[in-house]
Amino acid sequence: MQNQLPNAASEMPSIRLFGVGDAGLNVLELLIQGGLSPDRCVAVNTGGAALENSNAGHRVPLETKRLRGLGSGGDPERARQAAEERSEELKCLCENVDVVFVIAGLGGGSGTGISPVLARIAKSTGALVLAFVSTPFDCEGTRRGVLAREGLDELREAADGLICLPNQNIFKLIHENTTVLETFKIANRLLADGVTGVWRLVSFRGLIAIHFEDLLQLIQNRHCKSTFAVCEASGETRTHVVLEKLLVHPLLESGEVLSDCDALLVSLTGGPSLTMAEINRLIDEIKTKCGKAQLIVGACVEESFGERLVVTLIAVNQPEQALPAMGRREDLGAQLLDRQASPKPNSRFLPPPPALGPDQVQEFLSRRGTPRRNASRMRQGQLPLDIVSKGRFDKSEPTIYKGEDLDVPTYIRRGVPLN
């Protein structure tokens, strides 16, 4: 499907799109080919060579002495450090912008490491930050999957809204003979469609307008995670056909996502023949599937669409206010610190027993039964040791407390026998 971005209106919010890493640059090129102004696009990567063919109006090669011209090498930490070193330049590109789109593929070095840093920088300027990312196929290896999950969590905390395309779900859209190149082109096209749909949703004043303030109220500072789908149909039955495609769309889990979402954003774009009855029929059907979710609808007419009807649907899931997950290391530590300490002695040494005289010791042993042989040997005696001078403390006064000389060992003062 070839998308054409609408012409900018004077009152629309200002936007800037950042393509991060190789995957982000590929999606950015598709958007520019679809009509997006290159001046709104920024290409960001750790390797300067990857930016040479980009048509973006701004290019930011995050090449540093630390990278030595080798890029991130698949290490997100190296890419993160490179982005932080150029934070002022990235911040200048986000200044005076209402909406910042961060587009990247997660699982590698550049996209995973740079995207969260860029999102935080854009947030610091007051912009609404929306991230469009893809996660790797299962066949790409365990390490890329782990890095993608870590990057996804970090990016979700940094951005206002996160729209994720799991590449593994693309298997539901391709057939057995689809080549590797065609598969990745489909993934890039799906992300580009999602960006285009949001662009139409918030910036184009059509039959039914969506105010930018409505979108801010819905997702700003809530770090929500979203799923999207784009469907198209033509002809007299286009409303019925596009609805069927939505309900069986693999990215919407065959309609299950609609019933579980907290909010639903719907953008309809058609040619001059688009009727209000078609819009009303389509929205009524969607309402029956999304339960009590908040519904935001936008619709516009584009001359170039002819008989085509394109519906972009974004299901927004707000983060759950749940108890801390036991699996997270920092949460587990907090739980352990919050637990009440069980009562226990301050020392592993028990206090000494009460003082017993020689007669009391004999009586105690007799009560336990027949005393052991040579029990008298247990009595504490005085060893024939020579008296050694105390040196500088020889003339010091003894420490007397309640009539006891504390300088004498306790077990001698109390007559405690040693085994």
pLDDT at residue 320, as a whole number:
55
**What average pLDDT does the structure give for the chain?**
77
CATH no. for residue 235? 3.30.1330.20
pLDDT in tens, 238-294: 999 998 888 878 778 767 788 888 888 888 888 888 888 998 999 898 888 887 788
Place of tokens 């009539």: 403
On whether both 196 and 281 belong to a single domain, the answer is no
Of residues 209 and 252, more confidence is placed in 252
pLDDT at residue 299, as a whole number:
83
Taking residue 185's Cβ as centre, other Cβ atoms within 10 Å add up to 14
Of residues 10 and 393, more confidence is placed in 393
E strands along 302-365, which residues?
308-317
**Percent share of the chain, pLDDT over 70:** 70
On whether both 194 and 302 belong to a single domain, the answer is no
Domain that holds residue 188: 11-203
Q: How far apart are CA 161 and CA 155, in angstroms?
A: 9
Let me know if residue 366 belongs to a domain: no
Let me know if residue 57 belongs to a domain: yes
On whether both 47 and 143 belong to a single domain, the answer is yes
Taking residue 350's Cβ as centre, other Cβ atoms within 10 Å add up to 7
Confidence of residue 91 (pLDDT cuts 50, 70, 90): very high
Inform me whether the pLDDT recorded for 51 exceeds 60: yes
Inform me whether the pLDDT recorded for 60 exceeds 80: yes
Let me know if residue 253 belongs to a domain: yes
Q: How far apart are CA 272 and CA 224, in angstroms?
A: 35
Residues 6+ apart with CB under 8 A from 409: none
pLDDT at residue 352, as a whole number:
58
User: Could you give the count of Cα atoms lying within 13 Å of 227 in the half-sphere of its Cβ?
Assistant: 19
pLDDT at residue 351, as a whole number:
53
Quote the pTM value.
0.68
CATH no. for residue 182? 3.40.50.1440
User: Which of 284, 319, 354 is where one domain is finished?
Assistant: 319
pLDDT in tens, 307-347: 899 888 888 876 654 333 333 334 434 443 444 444 444 44
pLDDT at residue 385, as a whole number:
57
How many domains in the chain? 2
Let me know if residue 409 belongs to a domain: no
Of residues 52 and 152, more confidence is placed in 152
**Percent share of the chain, pLDDT over 90:** 21
Confidence of residue 102 (pLDDT cuts 50, 70, 90): very high
Let me know if residue 67 belongs to a domain: yes
pLDDT in tens, 104-136: 999 988 889 999 999 999 999 999 899 999 999
